[in-house]
Amino acid sequence: MLTRKQHELLTFIDTHLKSTGFSPSFEEMKEALQLRSKSGIHRLISALEERGFLRRRHHRARALEVMRLPNEAGRELAVAAPPAPFAPNVIRGDFSGRFPAVRAANEAAAVHLPLYGRIAAGLPIEAMRDQGTQIEVPLALLGNGEHYALEVAGDSMVEAGILDGDTVVIRKGDVAENGQIIVALIDDAEVTLKRLRRRGNSVALEPANQRHEIRIFPADRVKVQGSLVALLRRY
């Protein structure tokens, strides 16, 4: 399901492409959505790309392509009426069986997820877990499966709207689609947050920062430990 801002941005980009023939600038998108910073636009574009609504043509300036519109997504989007208090249609019953989490005081609104430490070379993700640290996450951000939160270190994903000190919510799993932002374990030792690209028998881990290099490994050296589903930031 798209959020209201994701829907507004997708509609604006589609209208701009049809009227001008090229995608709007980040400044134009920021003004259209009345956001205070371009980092919010980065996050919205990344979310739309991961859900298959947008495609970025890399190495081309201001190159966005609308793959499909919300009304083509079936039940993925409902924007006709203002949002009602969240009442999940898919996740029901006892959430403790699905998440490694403690029920929040209002379990229809939020759950507590384990918070892992900052991504750092030399530590598998399980070794980073602090059993006593948890973070409250809106249930609307989560789907099926197990989730955990992870604090981001560094600037390698800033062009995807992921900044140093942000908290990302990760769906735990060892399978991911091409183009998803994942937590990758390299050589059973180094953990990193990057975009996944499969190239034959190799795996490319792409940063979202031109100052960082793409790293390419044989597929058997990289293990997927989860995929990005949400981002949290404190101001």
pLDDT tens digit sequence for 46-70: 888 888 888 877 555 557 888 888 7
Fold that domain 95-232 belongs to in CATH: Umud Fragment, subunit A (2.10.109)
**What would you report as the CA-atom Rg of the chain, rounded to the nearest whole angstrom?**
18
**Residue 153 is which amino acid?**
A
CA distance 195 to 181: 4
The residues annotated as belonging to the active site are: 156, 194
Fold that domain 4-76 belongs to in CATH: Arc Repressor Mutant, subunit A (1.10.10)
Pairing assessment for the beta strands 147-151 and 110-118 based on DSSP bridges: parallel
First CA to last CA distance, the chain = 26
Question: Does the structure show a pLDDT above 90 at 202?
Answer: yes
SS3 content of the chain, % helix, strand, coil (to 5): 25, 30, 45
pTM of the model: 0.52
Identify the CA nearest to 217 among candidates 191, 195, 235, 199.
Answer: 199
Domain range list for the chain: 4-76, 95-232
Q: In 10 A of CB 112, how many CB atoms?
A: 17
Question: Where does the chain show beta strands of DSSP type E?
Answer: 54-56, 64-66, 102-103, 110-118, 129-138, 147-151, 167-172, 181-186, 190-199, 202-206, 215-218, 222-232
**Cβ–Cβ under 8 Å, residues 206 and 194:** yes
pLDDT tens digit sequence for 143-153: 788 888 888 88
Asked if domains 4-76 and 95-232 share a fold, the reply is no
Reported as a pLDDT band with limits 50, 70 and 90, residue 41 is confident
Cβ neighbors of 47 (< 8 A, separation 6 or more) are 3, 6
Identify the CA nearest to 224 among candidates 170, 176, 152, 157.
Answer: 176
pLDDT tens digit sequence for 67-125: 888 764 444 443 333 444 434 444 334 444 444 444 434 444 778 888 776 664 444 55
pLDDT tens digit sequence for 125-137: 554 555 567 888 8
CA distance 148 to 6: 24
